[in-house]
Amino acid sequence: MAKEKKKVEKKAAGKTSAKKSTTASSSGFVVKNGEQVIKYFTLVPALPVAGKRGNWKLTDSKGVVVDSLNVGFDENPSALERSFERAILVVRMPDPIDGAPGVWRFALGGVATDHGDENPYNDIAVEIIDNGFTLLVYVQALENNEENAPFGFVASYTDSKTGAVSIYESVDPIIIVDRPPKP
């Protein structure tokens, strides 16, 4: 009986750890020489709870929660081709968001960094479109190097009842840009 109980506990533990590994991941892809790649993501912001940041969720097109993005670029000797190579990350907030009695929109540029120069090679640019519901992140790699850019999404929340607007920032995800890509 004790052996069976241990086997069941091990199976349950295995399922729990397997479930955790599929709910948060690093999403990665490579931009080939001279090409552009477009990837789609959904961001669901959340209001703070008990004085702590809300649990914002960034998911890829398959619904997998992503905590870091690795954008690799093939080696390329041509500066002209490099200037055209880019990844465009389309981050959309659903409207309305289930359970939110208000409206969320990207605000104040859509992202904030912890440090003044988190993008030293100027390889990442952002643009807010679609009345604040969509953020475009343009990623390039003009040099042979690796760049880690931690940032937080910034969004406004407008309460439907009061009309009060508040600004919130997510916990930092990270974008890793590298040329040549790591295996």
pLDDT tens digits along 63-86: 999 988 999 999 877 888 888 899
- 35 domain residue, yes or no: yes
- 111 domain residue, yes or no: yes
- 5 domain residue, yes or no: no
Report the chain's C-alpha Rg in angstroms. 20
- 17 domain residue, yes or no: no
- 73 domain residue, yes or no: yes
**Minimal CA–CA distance to 28: which of 165, 172, 177?**
177
- 146 domain residue, yes or no: yes
Question: In this structure, are residues 29 and 68 in contact, taking their beta carbons and an 8 Å threshold?
Answer: no
| Tally of domains within the chain | 1
Question: In this structure, are residues 136 and 90 in contact, taking their beta carbons and an 8 Å threshold?
Answer: yes
**CATH code for the domain in which residue 74 is found:** 2.60.40.420
Domain holding 35, by residue range, is: 24-178
With 0-12 CB in 10 A as exposed, 13-18 as middle and 19+ as buried, what is 105?
A: buried
pLDDT 10s digits, 111-166: 987 666 666 667 888 999 999 999 999 999 888 888 888 888 999 999 999 999 99
Supply 162's token pair: 């009061």
- 9 domain residue, yes or no: no
pTM as predicted: 0.81
**Minimal CA–CA distance to 109: which of 87, 94, 124?**
124
d(CA 157, CA 164): 8
